[in-house]
């Protein structure tokens, strides 16, 4: 018998908050279908990485966003949902207080997760069905506050880790701190990819999705390191205004897309990869998949 269930996945990141509503169809083969994706450019990381806490102004915008998400889930008749907060909330001194206020004022429960759990959820997405089980991959998800990295070999995860190198953090933190964390990531990737031949990178995150659209990548086709670097140099050579006006980038994307693209290029270099695949999946997709499979207990709306 055909089984269909709707799920809501809320991702409270450092550069934006998102609501993914997805239908999961369970038959001979499970099918995940995105019904709606709503993104609000609420940059919580700008507060956390500068002043160490979420400001009251940001809290008000967050509460309004969560209330809107709740109404959307009701409109789509979603019963099961999960809301996870990542870098910005977990590092803010008042992160748990903010989550408690949201639950009290909206009824939506927010769970603040660590980097290890975030990496685990992301790597559990439908990526396993998209990769060639005879090949090696470095999976890189660049967010606003952190970068989640996983190494796949012949369909299995060899290792995974989270690094404090997200795009908003790069813009707001001092250069020495970023260089130190970059060296950690460089050494980790080189050690864990050593001996893996013909490795490719799989990239996820809003910025690499936008890059893919700018390059006009064909479905199921990769982007070469040469093409990605050419776009990076072109964007880097433009000022913020021109990236918004001439390239048509959103105002909250036009600054972070530069460090994001650089991070993907660095990961490719450190892994010895010549190509990057962009399947357009992320944390919210992983939340839905884990709820369906029973690995995450959903909250009820």
pLDDT in tens, 36-67: 999 999 999 999 999 999 999 999 999 999 99
Distance, CA of 143 to CA of 168 (rounded, Å): 8
Distance, CA of 134 to CA of 114 (rounded, Å): 31
Mean pLDDT, residues 139-146 taken together: 93
Average pLDDT over the chain reads 92
Three-class DSSP labels, the chain: CCEEEEEEEEEECCCCEEEEEEEEEECCCCEEEEEEEEEECCCHHHHHHHHCCCCHHHHHHHHHHHHHHHHHHHHCCCCEEEEEECHHHHHCCCHHHHHHHHHHHHCCCEEECCHHHHHHHHHCCHHHHCCCCCCEEEEEEECCCCEEEEEEECCEEEEEEEECCCHHHHHHCCHHHHHHHHHHHHHHHHHHHCCCCCEEEEEECHHHHHHHHHHCCCCCCCEEHHHHHHHHHHHHCCCHHHHHHCCCCCCCCCCCHHHHHHHHHHHHHHHCCCEEECCCCCHHHHHHHHHHHCCCCCEEC
170 Cβ contact list (under 8 Å, min separation 6):
178, 259, 263
> Does residue 279 contact residue 198 with C-beta atoms inside 8 Å?
no
Q: Give the pLDDT confidence of 73-118 residue by residue, as tens digits.
A: 999 999 899 999 999 999 999 999 999 999 999 999 999 999 888 8
Mean pLDDT, residues 252-274 taken together: 96
> Does residue 19 contact residue 69 with C-beta atoms inside 8 Å?
yes
Residue 246 has pLDDT above 80, yes or no: yes
Provide the pairing of β-strand 299-300 with 199-204: unpaired
Provide the pairing of β-strand 156-163 with 147-153: antiparallel
Cα 27 to chain centroid, rounded: 29
pTM of the model: 0.88
List, in order of start, the domains of the chain with CATH numbers: 3-114+284-300 (3.30.420.40), 126-281 (3.30.420.150)
Return the pLDDT at 126: 61
pLDDT band at 272 (very low <50, low <70, confident <90, very high): very high
Residue 220 has pLDDT above 90, yes or no: no
Per-residue buried b or exposed e for 253-271, using 16+ beta carbons within 10 Å of the residue's own CB: bbbbbbbbbbbbbbbbebb
> Does residue 282 contact residue 17 with C-beta atoms inside 8 Å?
no
């Amino acid at each position: 018998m055909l089984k269909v269930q709707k799920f809501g996945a809320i991702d409270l990141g450092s550069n934006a908050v998102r609501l993914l509503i997805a239908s999961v169809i369970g038959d001979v083969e499970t099918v995940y279908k995105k019904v709606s994706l709503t993104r609000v450019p609420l940059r919580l990381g700008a507060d956390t990485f500068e002043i160490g806490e979420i400001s009251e102004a940001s809290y008000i915008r967050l509460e309004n966003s969560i209330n809107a998400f709740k109404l959307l889930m009701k409109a789509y008749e979603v019963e099961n949902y999960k809301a996870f907060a990542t870098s910005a909330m977990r590092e803010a001194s008042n992160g748990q207080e903010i989550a408690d206020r949201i639950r009290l004022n909206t009824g939506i429960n927010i769970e603040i997760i660590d980097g290890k759990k975030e990496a685990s959820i992301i790597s559990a997405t439908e990526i396993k069905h998209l990769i060639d089980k005879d090949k090696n991959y470095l999976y890189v998800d660049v967010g606003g506050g952190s970068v989640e990295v996983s190494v796949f070999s012949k369909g299995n995860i060899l290792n995974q880790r989270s690094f404090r190198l997200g795009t908003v953090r790069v813009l707001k933190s001092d250069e020495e701190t970023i260089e130190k964390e970059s060296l950690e990531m460089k050494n980790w990737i080189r050690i864990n990819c050593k001996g893996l031949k013909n490795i490719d990178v799989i990239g996820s995150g809003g910025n690499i999705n936008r890059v893919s659209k700018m390059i006009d990548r064909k479905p199921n086709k990769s982007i070469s390191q040469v093409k990605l670097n050419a776009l990076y140099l072109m964007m880097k050579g433009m000022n913020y205004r021109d990236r918004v006006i001439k390239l048509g980038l959103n105002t909250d994307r036009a600054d972070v897309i530069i460090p994001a693209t650089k991070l993907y290029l660095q990961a490719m270099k450190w892994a010895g990869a010549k190509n990057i695949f962009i399947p357009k999946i992320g944390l919210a997709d992983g939340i839905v998949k884990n709820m369906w499979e029973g690995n995450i207990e959903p909250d009820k709306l």
